[in-house]
Chains A and B, each alone.
Chain A
Amino acid sequence: MHFHSNKAIYIQIADLICEKILSGIFKEEERIPSVRELAVDLEVNPNTVMRTYEYLQDLAIISNKRGVGFFVNTESIERVTAYLRKEFMEQELPNLFKNMKILAININEIDQLYQHYLQNNLNNSNEKK
């Protein structure tokens, strides 16, 4: 896995798990990879993955069933969404604002592009169906 430089690795792995839950690859009440499996897959220290799993347990997104493994909690999608929203608002948005200010980009311009994006995405998802 390629890690960015701006966030602790264990948080980046937590984000990855959250994304997998949101996209339905890891489903509620299903087992996720063991600490070792994920460490080997991502080529990171198992202690780092353990820290990620403790972090996600604190957020009540996953839980540990002793001797069986780690499972995605019910209602985790709501919690993951809340967690990722908070991360986005607190970390990514300030960066975006900073660049908008430097480049003198008006919020209305962004809004237009965003509406356009939503329209396109809607069309695309209709086509897929």
Chain B
Amino acid sequence: MIQFNNVSFGYSKQKLLYTNINLELTAGSVYGLLGKNGAGKSTLLKLMAGLVYPLHGKLSVFNANPTKRAPSFMHEVFFIPEEIDTPSLHVLDFGAEHMPFYPKFNNEQFLDYLKEFDIPMTNLNNMSFGQKKKVWIALGMASNASLIILDEPTNGLDIPSKRKLRKLIASVLNEDTCIIISTHQVKDLDSLIDKIILVDEGEIIVNTDTDSITEKLVFKLSPDISSTEQYLYYESSLAGNLIVKERTPEDETTKLDLELFFNAGINNKNGIKQLFN
């Protein structure tokens, strides 16, 4: 669905953020885009949405070039930024203003999602940040666009809303859609993500599915670290050692610990890259 071929990008030509990256994203999945602050997650999302343009290389999204911003491309992409802008409009007028841009927009769903999220029927100016964010999420999900990009969607959301968001994502995903979520709050959404893209210092460290991760790695709490075993990464505390190691046929598969995987990927880049690329 999305293909980066040797794409380079930087906000200035002297200092490139990404150099010759290759990345492929397919439909039917929820991608989790992970990386440290300033790693370039939002930039990667903006490239896909055609909000910033590659300096070199070829980027195609549904076989179109996002920089051309053709209406047929724009119809199918909904981008929900981390920092949201909302005009002084009644929530329903705000919806009506966006609807015409998305041919598959479903107003019934929009109203349904607003209700699920407890959004008051009032002007956006009277709403809290979290409420505004939920209006954007409702709008994006009701757009039925093939590519839905959410940049830090759980920021500002209260506890019940996070649960609603998880249910909403599970209900809208189908084999033709691709949902990309960049997040630091991995625990908010980890059971929904089935593909992981990990970026660090302008490099794509991993792009793989969570099944392959649990197939190849075990995550566990171990009372001691043995000197004979090879670990990819571990964290020690009084409670024991959280370890990431390569899975042998004797090891049962364990649940993916996203935080631990993230730390392993950042701290042992080569070890993780060798296993997954």
Contact = CB atoms under 8 A, between A and B. Distances in A.
Contacts of B211: 51
Contacts of B29: 47
Interface in B135-169: 163, 166-167
Given A8-B214, A45-B191, A51-B211, A40 B30 contact: no
Contact of A3 (B170, B191, B193, B219): B191
B192 interface: yes
B191 A40 contact: no
B257 interface: yes
Interface stretch (B49-57, B77-85, B196-204, B247-255): B247-255
A11 interface: yes
B171 interface: yes
Interface residues of A, number: 23
A116 B78 CA distance: 61
B255 A45 contact: no
Which of A8, A12, A91: most chain B Cβ within 10 A? A8
A91 B251 CA distance: 11
B255 A46 contact: no
A62 to B, nearest CB: 20
B171 A43 contact: no
Contact of B163 (A39, A43, A45, A47): A43
Nearest to A12: B255
Interface residues of B, number: 24
B191 A9 contact: yes
A9 B213 CA distance: 13
Interface string A69-101: 000000000000000000000010000000000
Interface of A: 1, 3-9, 11-12, 36, 39-48, 51, 91
Interface of B: 28-30, 163, 166-167, 170-171, 173, 191-194, 211, 214, 219-221, 252-257
The 8 A-B residue pairs whose C-beta atoms are closest, nearest first, are: A43-B166, A39-B170, A44-B191, A8-B253, A45-B194, A40-B170, A40-B167, A40-B171
20 contacts: A1-B191, A5-B254, A7-B252, A7-B254, A8-B214, A8-B253, A8-B255, A40-B167, A40-B171, A43-B163, A43-B166, A43-B170, A43-B191, A44-B191, A44-B192, A45-B193, A45-B194, A46-B173, A47-B29, A47-B194
